[in-house]
Structure formats: C-alpha cells, structure tokens
Amino acid sequence: MLQHLPRWAVAGLALGAGGAGALAFAPVALFPLAPLALAGWFALLLDATPRRAALTGYLFGLGFFGVGTTWIFNSLLVFGQAPLLVASALTVLFVLALAVYPALLAGLAARFLPLDRPAGLVALAGGVVLMEFARSWLFSGFPWLLFGHTVLDTPLQGWLPLAGELGAGLVVALLAVALVGIARPGWRARGVLLAAALMAVSLALVPLRWVQPQGDPIAVAMMQGNIPQERKWAADGIEYSFDVYAALTEPLSGVDLVVWPETAVPAFYIEVAVGLERLSDRLEDEGAELVTGIFAFDHPQRAIFNSVMHVPSGAGYNKRQLVPFGEFIPLRDRLAWLDRLLEIPMSDLTPGEGDGRMPMAGSIAGVSICYESAYARHIRAALPEAGFLINVSNDAWFGDSLAPAQHLQIARVRAVETGRPMVRATNTGISALIDARGGITARSGLFTREVVRGEIQPQTGRTPAVALAEAPALLAAVLLLGFGVVSRRRHRLRH
C-alpha cells in the first residue's frame, strides 16, 4: 500500500493530508476532509519504522499548521509591526514547534503499537486525543484547530455536549480508522462495522437535550465599531473610540443588555468612567445595562488587566488566559529583544483570577475575553450557575485571514458543549448571537460598523461535558492505547 511508495511521494502525501485537514475548519468547513486527512496520515504509518513514522507525522503537522495558522504572520507583520523577516521567522518557528506534536505521536505509535493491525490504528485514534490534550495545556496551551471543532453542523455534533471537544475529536479519529479499514483488503468488514456503529450512535445523540430554558429571553445589542488598530491607538484614539461607540449606542431602545467589545475604548476604566457611567444611567432609564471591554489598573499591585466591566454595578472580570507575545512576553528577561521588535500596545498585562461569573440582565453571565473562548476549562468554570455566556474579542489583530471564522467556530463549540447561548461581541467582526445548540441567530459582517441585535434564552442544567470535563475522552484514549500495547505484546508472544 502507501508505505511502499517512494519517500518523496510519502512526504508529499503527508504534507497534503495535513493541509487538507486544515480546510475542514472554518471558513472552508468541509467536514469530510477531517476524517479523510487523518485516514491518509494513518495509512502512511502502516508498517512504518518509528523514525519514518515520526518524519511523516512532522510533515503532516507542517501541512496542517502551515495552512491553518497562516494568520499568525498577518498579526505579527501588520498589527505587531514586526519587520518582514522577523514576522516570517516567528511564524515558521511557531509552525515548526506545533508540528512536533504529531511527529511525537507517530513515532511513539510506530514504536509501541501494532499499526499494521486494526487494534493498533484504533489505539492511534486514542493517541490523537492525548496529543490534542497536551497541545491544549503545555506551555500555556494552544487549543486551536482541534478536530472535535469540525463536527459542528454535522450528525456528529451531539458528541460535543456529551464528551466535549476531545470526545468529538476521538470520534473523528475513529471514523478515520474506519476509512482506512474500508480501503484495506481484509479489514473491510471491520471498517464498515466501525463506521456504521459511530454513525448510529451519533444519530441517536442528535435529539438529546441536556439543558432547559431558564427565565425570560434577554434582548441584546452588540456594538461593532470597526475601528482600525492604527486609528484606535492614535493620539486621540480614546475620544474617537468613545464617540463611535456612544453614537452607536444612543439610539437604542427595547434592549436589556448592551455589549461593547474587548477594549472598545483603549483606556483605563478610570479615565473614561464619568462618560461611561453617564451613558449607563441613560441606558438604565430605558431598562438596559451596559457591559464593555476596557483596561483596568490596580494601583497597589501596579498591575494592568484586560477587563470586562458591568458599568451599572461596577463589577469587573479580569482576563485569566493571556496571549503569549501579544499580552505578555514569556521569559521576559531572556526575550527582551523580541519585545523591542514588536510594537504591540498594552503587551505587559497581568493575568486575572476568578470564575468569570457576573450577574446581569436578571441572569448570570459566564464572561470570557477573546482567546479565552478556546479554553473549555475557563468557560466551564462559570457553570452551572451561568445562564448564558459573553465573549468580547478584538479580532482586528487577525485582519482578513482565516482566524475570525475559526474563532467564531470555537465560540459555537463552547455554546454546544455547555448548552448555553453566547453573546460574542467583537471590534471588527465577526460578532454573533449563538444559541445553545450552536446556531447563529444574528451576526455581523467582517470589517463593518453596525449594531447586531437579537435575543438569547438563558439555560439551566449541566451537560455531561461540563460535569465530567475531559475525563471520559481521556479515559477512553488511555484504554484504547492500553489495548493497543497489550495487543502488540500478545501478537509478539504468539510469533
């Protein structure tokens, strides 16, 4: 089969499979490419030596992340104002580092699993789960482009509230194993059986409801100012930004909750508190509450936070998961030279604490900021008390790239996992109201100035994915890997 191809052909197929896998994610969102890409990669590992398997895994990772994270270059060059050579080098290094994960998985699998037998490939699917879990945690984590995200709007979506993104990713990987089995003589019957079983269970999950409506719907309005980064951080950026958002807000009526995006006004809250509170008072007269992204300064700690403020109550939330090199410089004493090359405002922030719960609009919101929506553990922390989710973001850093659509896809996954609607307000798009099943009920365009209005229905209850977190997926992965290792040893003893 494929393992007998020349090395250059195997390398090309591995790169191509990785690149195709990235197209399974938004904005292309061709779900069949996810199991097909994994199946192509798995097929290349059959009978491969550990060294060749590791190389194949590395090439798969280069294709996958090289296509899926191209927005890193755009963010560094255009908005970080890094020199072209620096932006290119950092992007390449980022992709090279991420590709180590599939390389390690493939090399270890070829060393310890019988990849020439069905049990080995099934165990490899468990390895994919552990690989994605490691990538989500190590070195602050990068839980972006996880294969479970691709099941949105497919019959497999029911796995998200049941087993979370990792559990859904395991199903995608097992479907890839089934495809390899169907294509391989002697394994066809088992491949068909596995695929049929996965689809049957997936279809049975579709009608299940894990949560129930709570209270009355909340009328929401999100302001998308579409202020370019260079204009936002100009000398008069604070006054200009406030005026833009205030003008969008003033005509509103019949709204319960008004949400401005992450750092809508590029100032400390204390600098614009008078204006915000006056506006909030006028909104309260109309029955509306104002929530905005803003910077906060803790004078005793000399700490700067990326925050969300509920203006009527004065309650605040400080972002917990900061973006490396965007909001803080890791190992600053050793990487000070890099800080000097990147011109990113407010890039020395302090991480916050707490669970993100914030009372508003007669309910409790689970609040997160931008990149935090990619971390399921942070979103779960507000549950089950939170009836809905709010995520404010500044996707202007991504420009016109794949990232805004990928970020929206992740937000939808969080809504489905938790069984909670989400209010997602961004500076430049894509702002959206997402229902508890991940459907978009209202949305903005990209790089448009507009007000997005609609209703959300708070929910109560706890999905299994919230109650049990990653435990079921990790347990299943470990059991599959253990089964594969034992199967290899038994096969060796018999032969």
Q: Across residues 380-399, what is the average pLDDT?
A: 93
User: In this predicted model, what pLDDT tens digit does every residue of 35-54 receive, in sequence order?
Assistant: 999 999 999 999 899 999 99
319 flagged as catalytic: yes
- For residues 447 and 400, the answer to whether their CB atoms sit within 8 Å is yes
What is the per-residue pLDDT for 343?
Answer: 52
The CATH number assigned to the domain holding 335 equals 3.60.110.10
User: In this predicted model, what pLDDT tens digit does every residue of 322-356 receive, in sequence order?
Assistant: 877 666 555 445 545 444 555 555 557 888 999 99
370 flagged as catalytic: yes
What is the per-residue pLDDT for 395?
Answer: 86
Is residue 294 domain-shared with residue 426, that is, in the same domain? yes
Is residue 427 domain-shared with residue 292, that is, in the same domain? yes
Is residue 152 domain-shared with residue 301, that is, in the same domain? no
Q: What mean pLDDT is reported for the chain?
A: 91
pLDDT reading at 431 higher than 60: yes
Is residue 309 domain-shared with residue 392, that is, in the same domain? yes
Is residue 236 domain-shared with residue 133, that is, in the same domain? no
Is residue 180 domain-shared with residue 283, that is, in the same domain? no
What is the per-residue pLDDT for 6?
Answer: 81
Is residue 228 domain-shared with residue 202, that is, in the same domain? no
Radius of gyration of the chain (CA): 24
232 flagged as catalytic: no
Is residue 453 domain-shared with residue 480, that is, in the same domain? no
Is residue 267 domain-shared with residue 317, that is, in the same domain? yes
Is residue 337 domain-shared with residue 357, that is, in the same domain? yes
Per annotation, catalytic residue among 132, 165, 262, 289: 262
User: Residue 288 CA to chain centroid, in angstroms?
Assistant: 30
| DSSP track, 222-272 | EEE----HHHHTSTTHHHHHHHHHHHHHTT--S-SEEE--TTSSSSBHHHH
Residue 377: φ, ψ to 5°: -65, -35
Per annotation, catalytic residue among 319, 327, 372, 417: 319
Per annotation, catalytic residue among 289, 370, 372, 417: 370
Q: Across residues 434-457, what is the average pLDDT?
A: 97
Least confident span in 43-47, 159-163, 219-223:
43-47
What's the domain count of the chain? 2
Angle in degrees, 0-180, between the axes of helices 100-112 and 118-137, rounded to the nearest 10: 150
Is residue 318 domain-shared with residue 200, that is, in the same domain? no
Is residue 449 domain-shared with residue 489, that is, in the same domain? no
Provide the domain limits for residue 202.
Answer: 2-209+469-494
pLDDT reading at 70 higher than 80: yes
